[in-house]
Amino acid sequence: MAEALRVGIAGLGTVGASVARVLAEKAADLTRQCGRPIVVTAVAARSRGKDRGVDLSGVTWFDDPVALAKSADIDVFVELIGGDEGPARQAVKAALDAGRHVVTANKALLAKHGVALAEAAEKKGVLLNYEAAVAGGIPVIKTMREAMAGNAVTRVFGILNGTCNYILTRMEAEGISFDECLKDAQRLGYAEADPTFDIEGNDTAHKLSILSSIAFGHRIAADDIYLEGISNISQADIRAAADLGYRIKLLGVAQKTESGVEQRVHPTMVPTASVIAQVHGVTNAVAIETDILGELLLSGPGAGGNATASAVVGDIADIAKSRPGFQHGPVFGRPAKELKPYKQAKMRSHAGGYFIRLTVHDKIGVFAGIAKRMADNDISLESIVQRAVADDRQKNVILVTHETTEAAVRKAVDGITRDGYLVDKPQVIRIERAG
Ligand SMILES: NC(=O)c1ccc[n+]([C@@H]2O[C@H](COP(=O)([O-])OP(=O)(O)OC[C@H]3O[C@@H](n4cnc5c(N)ncnc54)[C@H](OP(=O)(O)O)[C@@H]3O)[C@@H](O)[C@H]2O)c1
């Protein structure tokens, strides 16, 4: 039997403790699958006294994750601390520089420093595996990097944040407000005490930036992603979407266009009959559209100790199975030095259908005025309906456009706002084609 693979785990929280437990409980199966044992030899966390629900006797304890990363007694450094700077970044860099393989679930770190870390890994000929960083337990990185070799990706999109999908699902199913859903999500542990990062789309953007880099071979550009969160989605939007045959999801979309790559995160209308519209609650899903395969949809648990540990353990097992000279290819699918600069397609040139909901004064001429603004901007309408609202001096006007551009829609809505028809902020939601 080959020598054991020695693993050091930094971070023993939700994910780290689950990884340690799974490696212990599945030791015999993993040894058979990998042809060698996988043994946790060292760990690091902040408080030594805390019960982690796993037997750590005989395992060397480090207070400092950087010291663990540099230790000569490990072959793989597993980073499960989190954060894009501080100990996580320092320890991962130290491990790579010391020639250790690294496994991480840290999307924030990769979104910010992924290319530099990939260069460090490739320079040393070690693996930097990060399956758990995007969509938790769903093996999307492996699928894109390995199983889809030879495919040219045209679009990748998905539901990448369980908190947002949980809130939108409950708003639709129970007719309750965003604020009420958020409070419940926090009570049940599906949302953080400070949920901004999730609900404003930043977490989705981190994951999307990694997928886009693999899909289109550009350097990670998380800061250039167009971002809109879900906090201004109302029951009026959800009900109007349902009436029109759509469901609202927070999607991250990366798409190749003639002028570059669009990367955008925003509430999106998807047809109710599409597969991605059936993804409910905290579940994640990623759709990958390619020239050879067509559209593939992967869905499953995007977070949680066990689901995330499944991806981390898979990454560790890949390292146990790898042999020098026969590895799984470069970190982001191409050598890090060959990743192109990101050529950003401007949001104003985004082409697609739009849902526009306007709350207007119920006066003669308003409806005609809105239709004229649309026509003046060459926007052709699939439907336009008026709905009464509780206050009988107001009306909801709901428009669905055929394919047009973001620039045209913004110009038309600005014009309508200047015309003085509106009693509330206009709502504009993009419609995404989905199979
Ligand atoms: N939770 C999920 O469902 C999930 C899903 C996908 C990806 N991830 C990613 O996985 C990573 C870990 O997430 P998590 O939810 O497991 O976090 P967590 O529960 O907060 O655990 C963080 C761990 O890091 C340790 N730690 C913090 N600062 C440290 C330091 N300076 N030195 C040593 N140890 C330190 C903590 O030690 P103490 O326990 O002693 O305080 C704790 O064990 C993050 O990058 C996250 O984005 C999480």
Q: Tens of pLDDT along 267-299?
A: 999 999 999 999 999 999 999 999 999 999 999
- Output the pLDDT for position 392: 80
- Output the pLDDT for position 325: 61
Asked if residue 139 lies in contact with residue 147, where contact means CB atoms within 8 angstroms, the answer is no
pTM equals 0.96
Report whether residue 106 contacts ligand 1, using a CB cutoff of 6 Å: yes
For residues 92-116, give the mean pLDDT: 98
Distance of alpha carbon 63 from alpha carbon 49, whole angstroms = 12
- What is the CA(45)–ligand 1 centre distance, in A? 9
- What is the CA(106)–ligand 1 centre distance, in A? 9
Note the pLDDT tens digit of each residue in 187-213: 988 888 889 999 999 999 999 999 999
Report whether residue 44 contacts ligand 1, using a CB cutoff of 6 Å: yes
Note the pLDDT tens digit of each residue in 171-190: 999 999 999 999 998 998 88
- Output the pLDDT for position 421: 94
Report whether residue 182 contacts ligand 1, using a CB cutoff of 6 Å: no
Q: What percent of the chain has pLDDT over 70?
A: 99
Does pLDDT of 26 surpass 80? Answer: yes
Take atom 5 of ligand 1 and give the residue whose Cα is closest. 303
Report whether residue 47 contacts ligand 1, using a CB cutoff of 6 Å: yes
pLDDT band of residue 93 (cuts 50, 70, 90) is very high
Asked if residue 225 lies in contact with residue 262, where contact means CB atoms within 8 angstroms, the answer is no
Report whether residue 137 contacts ligand 1, using a CB cutoff of 6 Å: no
Ligand 1 atom closest to the Cα of residue 136 is 6
- What is the CA(401)–ligand 1 centre distance, in A? 45
- What is the CA(16)–ligand 1 centre distance, in A? 7
Does pLDDT of 390 surpass 80? Answer: no
- Output the pLDDT for position 280: 97
Distance of alpha carbon 284 from alpha carbon 281, whole angstroms = 9
Question: Among 9, 14, 161, which residue has the most ligand 1 atoms within 8 Å of its CB, making it the best to mutate?
Answer: 14
Does pLDDT of 15 surpass 90? Answer: yes
pLDDT band of residue 116 (cuts 50, 70, 90) is very high
Question: Among 48, 52, 81, 104, which residue has the most ligand 1 atoms within 8 Å of its CB, making it the best to mutate?
Answer: 81
Asked if residue 385 lies in contact with residue 398, where contact means CB atoms within 8 angstroms, the answer is yes
pLDDT band of residue 328 (cuts 50, 70, 90) is low
Does pLDDT of 347 surpass 90? Answer: yes
Report whether residue 48 contacts ligand 1, using a CB cutoff of 6 Å: no
- Output the pLDDT for position 94: 98
Report whether residue 229 contacts ligand 1, using a CB cutoff of 6 Å: no
Report whether residue 11 contacts ligand 1, using a CB cutoff of 6 Å: yes
- Output the pLDDT for position 327: 62
As a three-state string, the secondary structure of the chain is: CCCCEEEEEECCCHHHHHHHHHHHHCHHHHHHHHCCCEEEEEEECCCCCCCCCCCCCCCEEECCHHHHHHCCCCCEEEECCCCCCHHHHHHHHHHHHCCCEEEECCHHHHHHHHHHHHHHHHHHCCCEECHHHCCCCCCHHHHHHHHCCCCCEEEEEEECCHHHHHHHHHHHHHCCCHHHHHHHHHHCCCCCCCCHHHHCCHHHHHHHHHHHHHHHCECCCHHHCEECCCCCCCHHHHHHHHHCCEEEEEEEEEEEECCEEEEEEEEEEEECCCCHHHCCCCEEEEEEEECCCEEEEEEEECCCHHHHHHHHHHHHHHHHHCECCECCCCCCCCCHHHCECCCECCHHHCEEEEEEEEEEECCCCHHHHHHHHHHHCCCCEEEEEEEECCCCCEEEEEEEECCEEHHHHHHHHHHHHHCCCECCCCEEEEECCCC
Does pLDDT of 339 surpass 90? Answer: yes
Query: Residue 131 region, left (φ>0) first, then alpha (ψ -120 to 50), else beta?
Result: alpha
The residues that are catalytic are: 207
Ligand 1 atom closest to the Cα of residue 311 is 6
Report whether residue 76 contacts ligand 1, using a CB cutoff of 6 Å: no
Take atom 20 of ligand 1 and give the residue whose Cα is closest. 13
Does pLDDT of 326 surpass 70? Answer: no
Ligand 1 atom closest to the Cα of residue 46 is 40
For residues 41-49, give the mean pLDDT: 97
Note the pLDDT tens digit of each residue in 222-236: 999 999 999 999 999
